[in-house]
Every structure is written in structure tokens, then in C-alpha cells.
Structure 1
Amino acid sequence: MDNKKLTPTKLVLPVMFAFAGLFGCSQDNELAEPSSQLSQSATSAVTGATNSKISFRSKHYIVLSTGEKLPAGLANNLAAANGQVTSLMTEAGVATVYSDDPAFAAKAGKIAGVRSVVRDLNIQWFNPEDEKIITLEDFGTPPASGDNDRYFDLQWGHAAIKASEAWNTGVRGEGVRVAVLDSGFDLDHPDLAPNIDMAASKNFVVGEQLGYALPGVGSHGSHTAGTIAAADNGIGIIGVAPQAKLILVKVLRDSGSGAFSWIMDGIIHATNQGADVINMSIGAALPRNGKFLDDNGTPDDPSDDFIVSDTKATQELLVALSRVTSYATKNGVTVIASAGNEANDGNVDKSLVHLPSGSTGVISISATAPRGWALNPYSTFMDHLASYSNYGTSDVHFAAPGGDYQYPGNEIVTIGGVRQYAYVFDYVFSAGSNLAPGTASYYWSVGTSMAAPHATGVAALIISKNGGSMNPAQVLAKLRESADDLGKPGRDPQYGYGRVNAFRAVTN
């Protein structure tokens, strides 16, 4: 499959009905709710969205040094202050510590070379129940399907960024390593397994494994990884960079929650494992006023005692994460993250800071989508700013396909043998997990979480074209010069420098 050519017209509708009964695929799944009945649930189903459920993590601390590196002997000094070191990010000047001593922060703050000690955060990054819009399951492994992987027709995002045209130049991501920081992954999914570097992959979530383990079809991590680098193997979907290698880093629980410190650990690990690109389809909107929930309290108690005000915590967490992302970029890693899904205008509302997209050196991606693509795949405009996407001149670097639920009609359409409401096809289709070995699952989802992987795939193609190694500043420059400049000329609040274009990125 490495040398096959895909013409632009084969991105959509080349064999609409031809393979409908050949692959043992269950196409009798129920139709999604009509769009007129879906507005409320669809809004909550946007993945990669920030969430108001942010709380201080009891007895867990983040320690920042005064310099870029941790001072010698810090672990011993923290132990003397009744702290148990859980992670030393020496290269970034950050450490994480557990302590049941209420006075630990005060004691540790007096250690020579320590800048600050703040509480770690727990964040509910997304709800996996919300993201399961509609699913497909695969039973059996069919032979290679020539130019058409079974569900490639559903991947309108690849058409929007001209992925197949980029592949036809011979650039498919070979020699590039992409780290995906996310929740659990379907490790034996036939579209993902060929490209996973298991030796470099790692789990940072206490009490869970790298593999996705929640019942039902889901797996936010599998979805994002599939968009980036699903293998071109004639089975299901194809990633934007189908020959790139995947370093899977689990930094969120399968339930969608995770500690702030796990993400920093994941970035350091990916960097040290030789990642060329890091994708973070995750996001948290931290209040600049520093008002957080405290998980020492009772979540059901509405009293003000459950709210902790700590402006310094916000400032220092920003510094900590920016140190880690700076370490990555200084070591040759291009870092990409979703811009967030609050439909927030960063030019007007500055009460929140979005992380990790707002951290130093991180490329932030807003989401685009068609409206009724399935009704006219060849000519439908696919670059509307998604209704939920955050935007703002300084908040967005580029746009990429993320899907949307704005099409109002209830027409039923068949694309590539799949029968669904037309609005469903405006979502992003990628890999999922149903916990059954040897059974491939897929689902549609919507969000800037889906946009970032498209941009990450293009970055991987750029680096591959350059021989497999490239300075992040050069990658950013190439993304800028090759993007389709939508909206106002130059950098604008909705699209940043433009919607990424894979073909131009490897040919300009």
C-alpha cells in the first residue's frame, strides 16, 4: 500500500455502495437522533472541551526551582520537609511531590533554589459518555481494498486539507515519531497497531494501564491517534501521516480526568523518547482569578468553603507548564494542542487562560467544519469556523477540520455504504475501542480535539519531507507559508494564519 496513488476525487464517494456488503461490517446500527432533537446533547458532546470541574489535588504539590534546572540535592531536601518526590523533571526545573504534612508547602518554600510550591490540579478534561455520538463496529479482517480503505470515504477532513494530494508526492510521514498525549488507547486496533512504538509508549495514570479499558466503544486517545497516523493498510481509516510512528502516552484516565502534573510528565517523556511532534487534544481553562474547588471538601456542598482562591497558583502553574513545553521545543519537538471548545473570544474575554494551548511554544488549533457535506461532497464549503471553537488573534495559530453539528436538516444519506443522518457526516470519523481483541471499532466525534490531530499529521508530513528532523520554528514557518489564508488577510481571530494544507506544505 506504500506506493498507491489516490486522486483527489477518490477522497469522497468513489464507491459509494460497492463495498457495503463485502466486509462483514455491521451497518444496522441505529441512526443518531435527528439534528432537531440533538442540539443540547451535541453541545455537551464536543470533545477536547475545557471543563469547569477543576480542583486542587489533595496532598499533591508542584515545586518550581528558581532556575531552569532543579538544584542539586533537592530530592533530599524535599524529603526532609516531609515530602515524597513522585517525579523529577530536572530538565525543566519542576518536581512533583506527595505529602500529608499540612505545613509541607511552607517548609518546602524555604528550601534554597525553590521558587514556589503550589498544589497540583485534578481536571475532568472530557466526558467519554458524551463523546460517543454514534459508532460502527468491524467484524473480521477483510483483504486490502486497493485505493479505498473501507471508511476512508467518511474522512472529509483529509479532503479539506488535501492529504491524498500530499501522499501522491511520495510524502507519508516516514521517519517521523509523533507522541499522542491523551487517555487510553486501543493497542491492538488493526489501524493503529502497525504504527505504535510500544517500547517508547508509557502510562502515567495511577491505577490504570496504557490500554483503554472502559466498556463500550469510545477511546478519545484512539480517535486522535487514528486521525494522525492510522496505517494505510486497506482495513478501515487512514491517518494524515500514515507512515509516522506513534508514541502513545496516557496522561488522562479513561474517564477523561487527569492530574495537571501527569501532562507535564508526559511531555518530558515524549521529548526524551525522541518525538518529533507532540499532539495534545486536551484543554483546561484556568481562571485567572485563581478560584478553584478544593477536593478536601465535599463536592455536593455548595458552601463557599469549597472554593479556594489562589491567584498565585494559576501564575505558577502557567510557569511550570511553559517550562516543560519550552524544554520540548528547545529539544526539537513541535508541540500542537487544541484551542478549546467554549466558543470563547479571546480578544474580548480574558478571564480564562487555556492550557496547554496557551503555553510557550505550543501551536494552537481552532476547528473548522462543513454544513451538510454528505449532501454535496464535491462542492460543499468545509471551512466554516466550528460553532464551539475558541478563537482570538493571540489564541489561535491555525485551523483544521474538527467537525460540527450545525447542519439543521434531517435528511438520511448513504456514504461509503454507511447510512446516517446527513449532519452526522459533518463530524470527524476515526478509530475507537470496544475492548474486543481483533475487532476494530470507529466513531464520530466533534471538537478542537479532532482538529489538532489533522494539524499534527500535516506537521509530521512536513518533517518527513525534510528528512525526519526539523526545528519547531521551521515547522511553524512552513505551516504558515502553506496554510490557506481564510478570513481576513494575515493572522485573524478565527483561523489564525489559515487552515492547514498538507499538499502545499510538502510542495511549496
Structure 2
Amino acid sequence: MIAAGGLAGAAHAAQSSPAEPSTPVPIVAEDGQVMSYILNARNANPGQTRLVEKAIAAAGGVVVQSWPQIGVVVAHSDRASFRADVARSGGNALQSVGPTRTVPVLEGTPAEAQAPWGPGASDENKGKNKKANGDIESVTTPFTGDPDAREIDQWDLRLIKADQAHAITDGSRNVLVGVLDSGISPEHPDLKPNIDVASSVNCTEAGRPDTSADGWYPTTSDHGTHVAGTIAAARNGVGVVGVAPGVRLASVKVVSDEGYIYPEYAVCGFMWAGEHKMDVTNNSYYVDPFEFWCGDQPEQAAALEAVSRAVAWSTGRGVVNVAALGNSAVDLRTNTTDNGSPNDAATPTPRTINDTCKDMPAQLPGVVGVSSITSTGQLSYFSNRGLGETDVAAPGSSILSTVVNTRTGINGYGTKSGTSMASPHVAGVLALMKSAHPSFTPAQLTAKLRADATDTACSAPQLNRGPACEGTLEYNSYYGDGIVDALKAVQ
């Protein structure tokens, strides 16, 4: 995944007592530095949202993007006192406000926001890339043109019975899957036939939807291209085949050139998915810069609330959201430490976390959380896990899929490992299921997915790494309700 995150859709258990506060991480704004903030109206309606917008202007900020459907506003300000000032001017209309990152805005303020400062007002952190996310890559191979030459190497499709499901359906063109990621290669021969250009968007322009022709293209990472191929590489006589090769894909770019998925990008992605009637989204990341956003910390609570509202709104619009559990090899139910956040700071702050701290979007209600397994069915050594956190398991180790060299534009095929690679298998299965059962709601799709999964007993994880398995054959911390079954999904 883009970052070693986690997710879940079951009841989420506590990490530690809520009476023990999490470690605060102060974020300092300085006059003259453009910082990004997310603000939540007390009530999700246009009237309250408008009051928040007025409070932003009164406090010396600029509205970058408003989502009145959920009462969320993204704002920029170059005033150190902005948070305190907007809290006063917002009065009862404002529920919470917090920064979305620890560093000044790198991408600048979109011109449409009519800011008094120009794009790129701060060069601080320019060129700084996020550290490696934990996904493991191998050597890529170029496109050969051989008819489905690499399908024989896709052990993962056979393990989840996708090959058998394809005898019934490859998926419906009515089904649209949003790939919230780093972009999809527009010219890859296995992906181009299935990309819905009109439904694709770039959300990394400060969280404001950018519908420019090439905004959703990958620029520095082929992560989204690999994920997209697992979901829906076309059955076109070349390369590989996706779990649901007949459905459509939308590239929803939420990963910046530096590799960050800030809260405003994720909110934009979920809102776009809901507005454009997507059926499924795949989310192979956690929201930066915190691996766990803590509700008992005011500087983190606002983003946690905003992303939660966006996820819930998209679900209400018919979207089932799938996410990767993460690559930190921790038990998300019992883990009480976070040593890598914030990941956009010069030095992360080792901290204690509690049950108010959530991996977004993984641990948000209604999100399907996916752990990773190997070709032998073992839990991958890197995979996060946890009772009440793992919903289902899917292949994520050494997965062959589509890739692109973002420097040369050359398309090809290669393997990657991570829960990022497991999650799109589940998104593909849900796309097949929606194709076979078009009237199913997100709740019905999720229930069938879990009921159909193959019960898998606890065993030792790959390389015996990470916390031991807990639970029963029917439900445990490693596999959740079991390994996904594509064949049952279409029956």
C-alpha cells in the first residue's frame, strides 16, 4: 500500500484504555507560511457550511473547497493565529478545526480560490518524498504482445477462484470501480480499454477536484497502475487479466508527487466517488501524515471527523469502500504505539496511542478491511491483523500486475507485495458480485462477501513475524471471516 496503513469493517476494539491520553503532537504555524486546515460545521448542511466559510474569511483564511453535503471545508491561511481566530469567529457553527499536515502547503493554493498569495507560496519541503511505504517490488518485464501470456503466472486468481468465476461473468460494464491511488497509466494496453475518463479526477490540488485531461495520470508512482490491473486488467489477448476484467475503472488520484495522501485529498476522493455513482472504491493507503489519527487530540480530531463523514456519505450513496490493513505487522486491536508519525515531519514523534486513534480509512465504520496472504495461504509477514479489524483476507505477496515507468512512460508487468495488493483482489470480487447482484446495497455486498469467504484456521504467519493469531475457525485476527471467494460472489 502507499503507506503501511490498516482498516476494518467489523466492530473495532480498543487499543488501550481511553482514560490514558494519546501523546500530543503539536503542529506549529508561522506567519507567512501557507498552511492547510480542515473545518467541520456542527451540522452537515449548506447554511452551517456557509457560516464556516464566512468565519474563514474573517480569520484571514481562504476557502479552497467546500463540501456542504457533509459540512466540511478546506481552507488555507498564512496567519499563525488562524486556528484560534476562526474558532472565535465560527461560534456555534464550527465543530472543529485542525491542520491537515505538519508542513506548509507545497502544491500552492488553487487559483480558483482567489487567494491573496500565489501558487507555490512556500518552497519549504520542496522535493521531499515520503519514505518507502513498505510495499515490496521486484524486477518488471516489458509488454510482449503475447496473448494473455502472463495469466498462467497469476496464482492469486486461482486461489480466490476468480478463474472459475470468469466462466460465469467477467463483470458488467455498468459497474464502476474507483481506484483512489497514484493514478492509472492511460496507455497501458491492459487498462486503457477499461478506464472511464469522464469519471476520473485529480484530488491532489489542495483537495479541490481537478478535471484537467491529464490530471489523473500517474507522475511519480506506478502503485495505482498495479492496483488497477489486479482489479480489472482487460481480457484482451495480452498480458494479465484482472479479477473483474469486464468492469470499468476510474482513476481518482489522491497521492501527491511526493507520495502523500493528506486528509483533504482523501475527502475529495470519497466525495467524488459518491457524486459519480461508483459501486466500489479501493483504498491501498493510510491518510498522511499520521498512521493513526487520535480523536482525543484537537489537532488530529478534525481530519478524523472529516474523512469519517466523507466515507459515510459515499456509503450512503451506494459505494462500498475497501481498504488495506497495512504493512506494519501489528495487531490493530492491541497496538499502543506509533513510532513513524507524523511522516512529513523532519523527525517523527514516538507516541502512545489509545482507542480514539484510528488508521484512516481502514478503521472507519463500514470499510472492508483486508489482510494479506501468501500463495500457501499463510498470513504475509508484513500484514497488519486484529480481531474486529480484519474482515477478509486475500493474496498480497508477489502479485503480478500492470506497471508503468513514470519517467519513460513504458508500460509493462511486474510484481509487488503488500496489503495494497490484497485489497484490490477484494475490490474486484465485490465488482463481480455487484455485476451479478446489481440491486445489492453496500451492506448487502459486504455481508455476502464475508459470508462467502472460506473459513481459514489460525496458523503461524509467514516467517513467524508479528503477533500471534487469535480467534476461531469461523473468525480470527489473521483471516477475519476467511479468504475471499470470487466464485461464490457471482452465484
Whether contact under 8 Å (1:50, 1:125) holds in the other structure is no
Looking at structure 2, the residues matched to 274 and 126 of structure 1 have their Cα atoms a distance apart, in angstroms, of 34
- TM-score, normalized by length of structure 1? 0.73
1:320 Cα deviation after fit: 1.6
1:300-311 correspondence to structure 2 within 5 Å: 311=297
Whether contact under 8 Å (2:135, 2:327) holds in the other structure is no
Q: Please list the CA deviations of residues 412-447 of structure 1 after superposition, one character each: whole Å capped at 9, or x if unmatched.
A: xxxxxxxxxxxxxxx011111125888531111100
1:127 Cα deviation after fit: 3.0
* Correspondence for 2:422: 451
User: Would you say 1:117 and 2:97 are equivalent positions?
Assistant: yes
Deviates more, 1:439-448 or 1:71-80: 71-80
1:50 Cα deviation after fit: 4.2
* Correspondence for 1:417: none
Q: Please list the CA deviations of residues 360-418 of structure 1 after superposition, one character each: whole Å capped at 9, or x if unmatched.
A: 21111110112xxxxxxxxxxx3111111111012111111111xxxxxxxxxxxxxxx
SS in 1 for 2:66: strand
1:454 Cα deviation after fit: 0.1
- Identity rate, percent: 33
SS in 1 for 2:236: coil
Structure 1 residues 162 and 129: alpha-carbon distance in aligned structure 2, compared to 1, 3 A threshold: closer
Deviates more, 1:346-355 or 1:228-237: 346-355
Structure whose residues are more often strand by fraction: 1
Deviates more, 1:429-438 or 1:149-158: 429-438
1:133 Cα deviation after fit: 2.2
1:316 Cα deviation after fit: 2.9
SS in 1 for 2:451: helix
Whether contact under 8 Å (2:49, 2:73) holds in the other structure is no
1:42-57 correspondence to structure 2 within 5 Å: 48-50=3-5
User: Would you say 1:480 and 2:479 are equivalent positions?
Assistant: no
Whether contact under 8 Å (1:128, 1:256) holds in the other structure is no
* Correspondence for 2:311: 325
Looking at structure 1, the residues matched to 165 and 407 of structure 2 have their Cα atoms a distance apart, in angstroms, of 34
User: Would you say 1:471 and 2:427 are equivalent positions?
Assistant: no
Of 465, 477, 488 in structure 2, the residue corresponding to residue 493 of structure 1 is 477
Deviates more, 1:102-111 or 1:269-278: 102-111
User: Would you say 1:260 and 2:263 are equivalent positions?
Assistant: yes
Q: Please list the CA deviations of residues 290-317 of structure 1 after superposition, one character each: whole Å capped at 9, or x if unmatched.
A: 8xxxxxxxxxxxxxxxxxxx82233332
Looking at structure 1, the residues matched to 445 and 436 of structure 2 have their Cα atoms a distance apart, in angstroms, of 11
Structure 1 residues 128 and 394: alpha-carbon distance in aligned structure 2, compared to 1, 3 A threshold: closer
In structure 2, give the amino acid aligned to 1:73: R
Looking at structure 2, the residues matched to 494 and 364 of structure 1 have their Cα atoms a distance apart, in angstroms, of 11
Of 120, 123, 138 in structure 1, the residue corresponding to residue 143 of structure 2 is 138
SS in 2 for 1:73: helix
Deviates more, 1:112-121 or 1:279-288: 279-288
Whether contact under 8 Å (1:125, 1:258) holds in the other structure is no
1:258 Cα deviation after fit: 3.0
Looking at structure 2, the residues matched to 289 and 326 of structure 1 have their Cα atoms a distance apart, in angstroms, of 19
Looking at structure 2, the residues matched to 126 and 279 of structure 1 have their Cα atoms a distance apart, in angstroms, of 22
* Correspondence for 2:413: 442
Deviates more, 1:320-329 or 1:487-496: 487-496
1:470 Cα deviation after fit: 2.6
* Correspondence for 1:85: 63
* Correspondence for 1:429: 400
In structure 2, give the amino acid aligned to 1:344: V
Looking at structure 2, the residues matched to 219 and 438 of structure 1 have their Cα atoms a distance apart, in angstroms, of 10
1:318 Cα deviation after fit: 1.9
Once superposed, what is the RMSD of the aligned Cα atoms? 2.6
* Correspondence for 1:211: 217
Structure 1 residues 311 and 128: alpha-carbon distance in aligned structure 2, compared to 1, 3 A threshold: closer
Looking at structure 1, the residues matched to 71 and 86 of structure 2 have their Cα atoms a distance apart, in angstroms, of 15
User: Would you say 1:460 and 2:431 are equivalent positions?
Assistant: yes
Of 70, 80, 93 in structure 2, the residue corresponding to residue 102 of structure 1 is 80
* Correspondence for 1:69: 45
Deviates more, 1:454-463 or 1:313-322: 313-322
Structure 1 residues 125 and 383: alpha-carbon distance in aligned structure 2, compared to 1, 3 A threshold: farther
1:210 Cα deviation after fit: 1.9
Looking at structure 1, the residues matched to 306 and 41 of structure 2 have their Cα atoms a distance apart, in angstroms, of 9
Looking at structure 2, the residues matched to 178 and 344 of structure 1 have their Cα atoms a distance apart, in angstroms, of 29
1:47 Cα deviation after fit: 5.4
Q: How many residues align?
A: 397
* Correspondence for 1:305: none
* Correspondence for 1:396: 390
Q: Which runs of 5+ in 1 are unaligned?
A: 1-45, 291-309, 371-381, 404-426
In structure 2, give the amino acid aligned to 1:108: V
1:10-21 correspondence to structure 2 within 5 Å: none
1:184 Cα deviation after fit: 2.7
- TM-score, normalized by length of structure 2? 0.75
Looking at structure 2, the residues matched to 311 and 437 of structure 1 have their Cα atoms a distance apart, in angstroms, of 44
Structure 1 residues 441 and 166: alpha-carbon distance in aligned structure 2, compared to 1, 3 A threshold: same
Structure 1 residues 366 and 129: alpha-carbon distance in aligned structure 2, compared to 1, 3 A threshold: closer
User: Would you say 1:504 and 2:475 are equivalent positions?
Assistant: no
* Correspondence for 2:119: none
In structure 2, give the amino acid aligned to 1:49: A
Q: Which protein has the larger Cα radius of gyration, Structure 1 or Structure 2?
A: 1
SS in 2 for 1:322: helix
In structure 1, give the amino acid aligned to 2:452: S
